[in-house]
Amino acid sequence: MKLKRIGLGILTAAFVFTLVGCSNDPQKEFVDALYSTEQSTFNAAKFEMSIDNIDFSSDEDDSAYTAMMVSQLENITVDGSYALNQDDETMEMEMNLNALGQTLPLQFVIQKEKMYLSASFFSGAVDIANALQYPIDISASDLKKLDGKYIDVGEIGSEFTDGASSSSDVAAAAGTVNDKELQDKLRKLMESFDKKTFTKKDDVITHIFTKKEITQIAEVIMESLEESKSGKTDKSSVDITEMFSEGLEDLSVELSINTKSSAMSYKFNMVIKDETTDMDLTLSMKMTPQKNTEKISVPSKKNVLTTDEFDAIISSIYGSAMGRSDDSSYYDDLYGELYEDEDYTFTDEEFDQLIESIEMYPEEITQEDADELRDSGSLIFSKDQMKRLNEALDKALL
């Protein structure tokens, strides 16, 4: 629930300054600048983000470890860009996560209800894991398989997220960005805020959105999202007020807009307090709107990894990193299907990984392991595969 609150808070803050389509009244100028005709022509932006401060304390058993990990977040910065194409309903986002002297590149491509993540992030993830002294060894051949490949987040993500937002939800959210009816509702809402809270210095107008105002904005956005899904104007099924009040002691977003350049910057602050945890988070972000005329490239089917291919690579990474389990047989953990289901069919990649694991960890093979592998393998492997398996096992037992 805590993560959902954080995620929703950040999402709402993002919408505050990405929902982009003079007088002496700073409030009117602020709203006009946010929803101006010029803003609506921007379909791309560059951004930079950094965590300015994060204080964390907890009474839970793993609090010391968690506090150590949280402290590392202050050294993390993110930079990147995104582009939208309303004609074919595509979006591309490229971002670099800079941490521990390493860079994790992330590239997302969305087309209507499909979201893809470039597999190029694997090499950066391995470097960061090694910097954290959690060594992960991935073979050059496995890295080569990832060149130019993408992961279908909508397909693979559903196995791990337990009902979290799908790519269709993201597409629906993106679709609200230039929704005129929603913009009109938000404009009217912002015009009802206290005029004194809008200030101007030179070409920059600033407003600090309070927790109450952010809650109101979130309610309008969520109702619009649900309306876009169901076609009805029902009240949102998500109780925003409850979500923002449960353990969330404070929430604010300071948004500044340059009326000439349309550049925006904000400071986001969140304070969470509950029975066991206190956390104070402050982060900064700058966005420079741009216009994109290039077509967004959507990965072809041949460049999208299947679930089996993705699982095989993950098994390779974790298998080499973790070695034999102390609680159960190493090979039972990795290839339990072989013993439990005689009709199970190994892919070529999985069989190659089995042989590679035996060759990499011959000292882990016992006579009992070898006998079980031979007995079970004879039921599902071909003669050529059994020959390779027997040779690998014989060599490992020498």
Residue of 281 and 363 predicted with greater confidence: 281
Pairing of strands 248-258, 150-152: unpaired
Q: How far apart are the first and last CA of the chain?
A: 53
- The identity of residue 84, as a single letter, is L
Predicted confidence (pLDDT) at residue 120 exceeds the cutoff of 90? no
pLDDT recorded at residue 237: 53
pLDDT recorded at residue 132: 63
DSSP H or E stretch at residue 114: strand 114-118
Averaged pLDDT score across all residues of the chain: 74
| Residue 34, both tokens | 């946010």
The average pLDDT across 23-27 equals 74
Pairing of strands 102-111, 114-118: antiparallel
Give start and end residues of each alpha helix (H) in the chain: 2-18, 26-34, 37-40, 63-71, 121-131, 140-145, 153-160, 167-175, 180-191, 211-230, 240-245, 307-322, 330-334, 336-340, 348-360, 367-380, 383-397
pLDDT recorded at residue 209: 95
Q: Select from 320, 308, 321, 309 the least CA-distant residue to 356.
A: 320
Please write the tens of the pLDDT for every residue from 68-77.
667 667 778 9
Q: CA 355, CA 393: separation in Å to the nearest integer?
A: 9
pLDDT recorded at residue 219: 87
Residue of 363 and 105 predicted with greater confidence: 105
CA torsion sign, 321 to 326 to 330 to 332? negative
The three-point CA angle 381-384-387 to 5° equals 90
Please write the tens of the pLDDT for every residue from 320-368.
444 434 333 444 444 444 444 445 556 677 778 778 778 877 776 788 7
pLDDT recorded at residue 72: 67
pLDDT band at 174 (very low <50, low <70, confident <90, very high): very low
Three-state DSSP at 287 gives: strand
Q: What is the separation of C-alpha 284 from the centre of its chain, rounded to a whole number of angstroms?
A: 19
Predicted confidence (pLDDT) at residue 286 exceeds the cutoff of 90? yes
pLDDT recorded at residue 48: 94
Maximal C-alpha separation, the chain? 87
Contact (Cβ atoms closer than 8 angstroms) between residue 248 and residue 271: yes
Please write the tens of the pLDDT for every residue from 140-159.
666 677 778 888 887 555 44
Contact (Cβ atoms closer than 8 angstroms) between residue 35 and residue 58: no
Pairing of strands 204-209, 248-258: antiparallel
pLDDT recorded at residue 333: 45
Give the number of residues written for the chain: 398
Residue of 38 and 160 predicted with greater confidence: 38
Most trustworthy range by pLDDT among 7-11, 57-61, 207-211: 207-211
pLDDT recorded at residue 325: 40
The average pLDDT across 295-320 equals 74
Q: Point out the least confidently predicted range of 180-189, 257-266, 321-330.
A: 321-330
Contact (Cβ atoms closer than 8 angstroms) between residue 82 and residue 114: no
| 355 exposure class (CB count in 10 Å sphere: 0-12, 13-18, 19+) | middle
The average pLDDT across 200-210 equals 94
Please write the tens of the pLDDT for every residue from 214-259.
989 988 888 887 776 655 545 555 566 677 777 788 899 999 999 8
pLDDT recorded at residue 365: 78
Predicted confidence (pLDDT) at residue 198 exceeds the cutoff of 90? yes
Three-state DSSP at 340 gives: helix
Q: Point out the least confidently predicted range of 52-61, 121-130, 300-309.
A: 121-130
Contact (Cβ atoms closer than 8 angstroms) between residue 73 and residue 102: no
Predicted confidence (pLDDT) at residue 66 exceeds the cutoff of 70? no
pLDDT recorded at residue 36: 73
Residue 238 DSSP one-character state: S
